[in-house]
Amino acid sequence: MKKLENIEKMQQFSFQARKKSHIIGLVPTMGALHQGHLSLIQAARQECHEVVVSIFVNPTQFGENEDYERYPRDWNQDCSLAAAAGATAVFLPSASDIYPPSYQTTLHLDSLTQHLCGAHRPGHFDAVATVVCKLLNIVAPHRAYFGQKDVQQLRVIQQMTADLNMNVGIVPMPTLRESDGLAMSSRNAYLSPSERLAAGIIYQALLTTEQAAQAGETSPLILQQLLLSHLVSEPLVHVEYAAVADPVTLTPLEQQQSSMLLAVAVRIGDTRLIDNLLINLPSCAGFTK
Amino acid sequence: MKKLENIEKMQQFSFQARKKSHIIGLVPTMGALHQGHLSLIQAARQECHEVVVSIFVNPTQFGENEDYERYPRDWNQDCSLAAAAGATAVFLPSASDIYPPSYQTTLHLDSLTQHLCGAHRPGHFDAVATVVCKLLNIVAPHRAYFGQKDVQQLRVIQQMTADLNMNVGIVPMPTLRESDGLAMSSRNAYLSPSERLAAGIIYQALLTTEQAAQAGETSPLILQQLLLSHLVSEPLVHVEYAAVADPVTLTPLEQQQSSMLLAVAVRIGDTRLIDNLLINLPSCAGFTK
């Protein structure tokens, strides 16, 4: 596996791969690789000649009081894990390589960035869209793999690449979960044992709410209240939002749809966790789209 | 010459050209082609296998009281002129193809958009950067050609493509001028005969100011006043700005540099005209960069 530590080396790698008509897959990460990331790398390995894992803790997407400084960093372990999962190259740019002193361009998405996490993390998704746009241009992959756990990030990237006519396939990958259902996340490592135990409530709340919808509850408002009440039954959990939203636009739903996204963000201690579940109703009286 | 009337056909054209290892040049225009555009097409013809001329009057870059509606449109004549100058394809997308209903992504450049024309046309250069980013992704050219008459546009495109790591060469091309020095522009067609006569003052003012700098005038402020006083000596001319700026950052200069940009925007009747001249001093006591 190649370690490419600046943009120029990454570009040369991709240029050579493309010259050989090799299919390039990109798995963009901030390091701290867990099984979720590795499942993306393994999937890319099945579909691509070259699998590039980018590791870049992007400073611009962290808010002032967020965890940029303490975000877990262990590049050596990440490289070993990436190689074992099938990566053929790791791209490890520096912040000054990505954002040189004269840097001044930001992408902005009008609507998708306003809901869910976007409402609580101003500028976050614009910064994500910007850095992913740059990574896609640098790595020039045919496909890029994103986990569905970060569903708003996924939608922002899908919309951005479509809006800007970028020639890349965005591949959504299912969320991997611990045995109690907690979605895998690099931030789970922040949790104390009691917090970790409490975090199991998130997926339970999503499942319970989905079951209510499948059992015939048609009101998004009642589903949202059910989701919320389940979450707050765990005292360590502080809910940032609990939403029933359109899976494409991410806007809150007022009427039932055949496809509805349950999405939550909570704080447990100092740790912010997100999760979501897509409800697909087989048939639906209130079907509106 | 191929006429490609939607994004998909354009992409297929470029895909085929790239498969043959053909070099693709792009000349982005809003139509109303004049000799300036044709010189870009001819230059591209010298350097590229395929020369694509895009014709798209981009609605998002016009302000509310600007000339989007009356901007000259004659696609048939433009296609004839482009073909005669050496274009191998014309890309003529519709506005709904470029901006479908769900469209929501805009690029923003922090600093370059604040000066010169940017101060008078809020949002204009962000919209230009956005549509050019899209055109570059759709056409996938190796090189794209831009006239130096629109110097701020050129700088914004250079900065945007560098910031977003776009794999394309931006080729600046010299301003073409009428016999009295007026910079060629599609908007010159708006001028009445007396306005057209008055417009000759713009280049005269730039030249006179450059001569003063070459003759030893070291103060940017005095050069700016000279430029302004020359322009206002013509009663039909209303000056929007007359600036002495850094050619890279476009910020106003307080001290002499070896390279200084004279830039002006004026209104003559209902017509807004811009022009600029780059001063390169062979040696310079106040050389600061």
At A128-148, the pLDDT tens digits run: 999 999 999 999 999 999 999
List of chain A residues whose C-beta atoms are within 8 Å of the C-beta of residue B101: none
List of chain B residues whose C-beta atoms are within 8 Å of the C-beta of residue A163: 103-105, 134
Are residues A110 and B111, on separate chains, in Cβ contact within 8 Å? no
List of chain B residues whose C-beta atoms are within 8 Å of the C-beta of residue A165: 7, 134, 137-138
B283 is in an annotated binding site: no
* Final residue belonging to a domain, choices A111, A139, A173: A173
Count CB pairs under 8 A between chains A and B: 68
Interface check A73 vs B, CB under 8 A: no
Are residues B107 and A105, on separate chains, in Cβ contact within 8 Å? yes
Q: Indicate whether A19 and A162 sit together in one domain.
A: yes
Structural domain including A241 reads 186-277
Q: Is residue A239 part of a domain?
A: yes
Q: What is the DSSP string of chain A?
A: -EEE-SHHHHHHHHHHHHHTT--EEEEEE-S---HHHHHHHHHHHHH-SEEEEEE---GGGS-TTSSTTTS---HHHHHHHHHHHT-SEEE---HHHHS-TT--EEEEESSGGGSHHHHHSTTHHHHHHHHHHHHHHHH--SEEEEETTSHHHHHHHHHHHHHTT---EEEEEPPPB-TT-PBP-GGGGG--HHHHHHTTHHHHHHHHHHHHHHTT---HHHHHHHHHHHHHTSTTEEEEEEEEE-TTT-PBPSS--SEEEEEEEEEETTEEEEEEEEEE-SS-TT---
Q: In the predicted model, what is the mean pLDDT of residues A151-163?
A: 98
Interface check B138 vs A, CB under 8 A: yes
Q: What's the CA angle centered on B228, arms B222 and B231, to 5 degrees?
A: 145
CA distance A107 to chain B (A): 5
Q: Indicate whether A145 and A267 sit together in one domain.
A: no
CATH code of the domain in which A243 resides: 3.30.1300.10
- Distance (Å, rounded) from C-alpha A274 to C-alpha A125? 15
**pLDDT tens, residue order, chain B (289 aa):** 999 999 999 999 999 999 999 999 999 999 999 999 999 999 999 999 999 999 999 999 999 999 999 999 999 999 999 999 999 999 999 999 999 999 999 999 999 999 999 999 999 999 999 999 999 999 999 999 999 999 999 999 999 999 999 999 999 999 999 999 999 999 999 999 999 999 999 999 999 999 999 999 999 999 999 999 999 999 999 999 999 999 999 999 999 999 999 999 999 999 999 999 999 998 655 444 4
Tokens at A72, concatenated: 């877990």
pLDDT in tens, A198-256: 999 999 999 999 999 999 999 999 999 999 999 999 999 999 999 999 999 999 999 99
A134: how many CB neighbours lie within 10 A of its CB? Answer: 23
Interface check B133 vs A, CB under 8 A: yes
Q: Is residue A118 part of a domain?
A: yes
Q: What's the CA angle centered on A159, arms A154 and A163, to 5 degrees?
A: 155
Q: Is residue A130 part of a domain?
A: yes
Q: Is residue B103 part of a domain?
A: yes
Q: Is residue B60 part of a domain?
A: yes
Interface check B137 vs A, CB under 8 A: yes
Tokens at B99, concatenated: 């901006």
Q: Indicate whether B107 and B235 sit together in one domain.
A: no
**Which helix (H) or strand (E) covers residue B240, if one does?**
strand B237-245
pLDDT in tens, A74-93: 999 999 999 999 999 999 99
Interface check B110 vs A, CB under 8 A: yes
Are residues B106 and A108, on separate chains, in Cβ contact within 8 Å? yes
Phi-psi map region of A21: left, alpha, beta (phi>0 left; psi -120 to 50 alpha):
left
Scored b (16 or more CB within 10 A) or e, A190-222 reads bbeeebbebbebbbbbbeebbebbeeeeebbee
Q: Indicate whether B201 and B230 sit together in one domain.
A: yes
Instruction: Quote the percentage of chain A above a pLDDT of 70.
Output: 98
Instruction: Quote the percentage of chain A above a pLDDT of 90.
Output: 97
Q: Indicate whether B40 and B154 sit together in one domain.
A: yes
Q: Is residue B275 part of a domain?
A: yes
Q: Chain A: residue nearest B160 by CA?
A: A105
Mean pLDDT score of chain B, rounded to an integer?
96
Tokens 């739903």 correspond to: A253
Q: Indicate whether A193 and A217 sit together in one domain.
A: yes
Q: Indicate whether A235 and A129 sit together in one domain.
A: no
- Distance (Å, rounded) from C-alpha A228 to C-alpha A204? 12
Q: Is the pLDDT of residue A284 over 80?
A: no
CA proximity to A35, closest of A211, A182, A171: A182
* Final residue belonging to a domain, choices A173, A200, A218: A173
Mutate to test the interface with B, among A164, A166, A248 (most CBs of B within 10 A): A164
Q: Is residue B145 part of a domain?
A: yes
Mutate to test the interface with A, among B10, B98, B104 (most CBs of A within 10 A): B104
Mean pLDDT score of chain A, rounded to an integer?
96
Q: How many domains does chain B have?
A: 2
A25: how many CB neighbours lie within 10 A of its CB? Answer: 28
Q: Is the pLDDT of residue A285 over 90?
A: no
Which ipTM score applies to this complex? Answer: 0.96
Are residues B106 and A107, on separate chains, in Cβ contact within 8 Å? yes
Q: Indicate whether A19 and A114 sit together in one domain.
A: yes
Interface check B24 vs A, CB under 8 A: no
Q: Is residue A283 part of a domain?
A: no
Q: Indicate whether B169 and B190 sit together in one domain.
A: no
* Final residue belonging to a domain, choices A120, A145, A173: A173
Mutate to test the interface with A, among B98, B105, B251 (most CBs of A within 10 A): B105
Q: Indicate whether A104 and A211 sit together in one domain.
A: no
Q: Indicate whether A25 and A164 sit together in one domain.
A: yes
Q: Indicate whether B125 and B197 sit together in one domain.
A: no
B31 is in an annotated binding site: yes
